[in-house]
Amino acid sequence: MLVRAERALVDGALVGPVLLEVDGGRIRAVVVDPERVATATPDVDLAGGTLTPGLLDLQVNGSFGADFADATPQEWAAALDGLASRGITGIEPTIITAPIADLHGAFDRTLAARRRHEQDTVTRILGAHLEGPFLSPERKGAHRADWMLDPSREHLDALLANPATREVLLTVTLAPELPGALAAIERLAGDGVVVSVGHSDATAAQVHAAADAGATMVTHLFNAQRPLNHREPGVVGAALADERLFVGTIADAQHVDASVVGIVAGAARGRMVAVTDAIVTAGLPNHTWLTFGGDEVANDATGLGRRRDGTIAGAGIVLDEGVRRLVAAGLDPAVVLTACTEVPARSIRRDDVGRLAVGTLADLVWWDAAWHPERVWIGGVERDTA
């Protein structure tokens, strides 16, 4: 299949026209030479709009009525289909703090869902993101403090005793100031797990020590962590200053003001990973009450998921809406889109997704002028986005 686009995201820049050759579900050639593109006879000719890789959301707790901690097979299918229709072609289902026995069950179901859907034209399950239980009660956010644990060897042994957990676990968010945390980071990183600093009251020095031990990311910058101070940079300052760390940032323009997202993009150039922190209510009408993390939650009028007491529990949007909000606020579309594609892929050490490049999977999104996904391909197979 030959695909011609007037404009496409290539190597972090919007360029065009571009010609892609797709074969066997992968991109086999990327042509940006105007003369060669003009003389080609494409199978798909995309006039106007913008072609990009599929979006990757590395922190998504659920959507379309599914909570990935306990979703049924039917709920998994609905969520993966709904996300794909919105241009999200890869996710890390995120499981929040719970008793270890419950986490085992969540990872069993996540692995089963990945196996069930690995040949389908739906959103890919890249691996699971465990957010907790090794978090600071001082920065618990919507997590239950009574379920939190120190990342001791015994607790890690218990977590990793489940074969499904070892197979599907990709990212662990933890607080590096907890007893035993640095040893836990070394162990997890040594096993190939991405370790992310989050829900943490750590000082900047403690965050840098976590990076020394193998941590490579920070979870939802500014939210549930020690803030930036001019004499104690905290988690925020350390994340922006330490070039070893990718910086997860919620892209709903509510958890973090869009102007601050722009500051993060400039300070952590090439390291900002746009995420949603989406929860079960994402994609549903506002004020629809459902259960998430053991308590009720619903979206408010802005699309924020909130507990009954007003505590923010997560975002009620999916990532394409985050793109629209940030671009509407004046951020460079190429920067926003790269933070949703190439940078998250690099942060989880994947070179086969997130880019329009030779050898990558042909997961593609064609956007209209208002940044709504018009057409989506998974592995070179077009989906119905209606």
In the chain, % of residues over pLDDT 70: 99
At a CB cut-off of 8 Å and minimum separation 6, what does 157 contact?
Answer: none
| 307 appears as a binding residue in the annotation | no
| Least confident among 132-141, 167-176, 253-262, 308-317 | 308-317
Over residues 371-386, the mean pLDDT reads 91
Residue with tokens 């959301």: 57
Token pair in block for residue 70: 């306990």
CA-based nearest residue to 77, from 106, 109, 44, 55: 109
Q: What is the mean pLDDT of the chain?
A: 96
| Catalytic one of 67, 201, 242, 277 | 277
| Residue 53 bridge partners (DSSP) | 364
Closest CA to 52 of 343, 257, 264: 343
Residue 61 among known ligand-binding residues: no
C-alpha angle 172/176/182, rounded to 5°? Answer: 90
Angle subtended by helix axes 258-267 and 319-328, to nearest 10:
90
Residue 238, Cα to own-chain centre: how many angstroms?
21
CA 248, chain centre distance (Å): 8
Residue 331 CA to residue 196 CA, distance in Å, equals 26
Q: Which residue has the higher pLDDT, 35 or 384?
A: 35
Q: What are the CA-CA distances from residue 323 to residues 66, 112, 124, 135 (Å)?
A: 22, 30, 20, 29
For 306-322, the pLDDT digits (tens) are 889 988 888 999 999 99
Distance CA 25, CA 42 (A): 17
Query: Is 258 assigned a ligand-binding role in the annotation?
Result: no
Q: What's the pLDDT tens digit per position in 39-64?
A: 999 999 999 999 999 999 999 999 99
Q: What is the dihedral of CA 374, 377, 382, 384, to 10 degrees?
A: -50
Q: Is 374 left (phi over 0), alpha (psi -120 to 50) or beta?
A: alpha
* Whole-structure pTM value: 0.96
Q: What is the DSSP letter of 386?
A: -
Domains of the chain as residue ranges with CATH: 2-51+369-383 (no CATH), 55-351 (3.20.20.140)
- Confidence grade of residue 180 (pLDDT, cut at 50, 70, 90): very high
Residue 316 labelled as part of a binding site: no
Q: For the segment 264-318, what is each residue's pLDDT rounded down to a tens digit?
A: 999 999 999 999 999 999 988 889 899 876 789 999 999 999 889 988 888 999 9
pLDDT of residue 66: 96
Q: Above 70 in pLDDT, residue 385?
A: no
**Residue 277 annotated in active site:** yes
Q: Is 372 annotated as a binding residue?
A: no
Q: Is 105 among the annotated ligand-binding positions?
A: no
Contacts of 46 (CB under 8 A, 6+ apart): 3, 4, 5, 6, 366, 375
- Mind giving me the DSSP string for 253-265? SSSS-HHHHHHHH
The answer to the question of whether 255 is labelled as a binding residue is yes
Kindly tell me if the per-residue pLDDT of 11 is higher than 80. yes
| Phi and psi based region of residue 19 (left: phi greater than 0; alpha: psi -120 to 50; beta: remaining) | beta
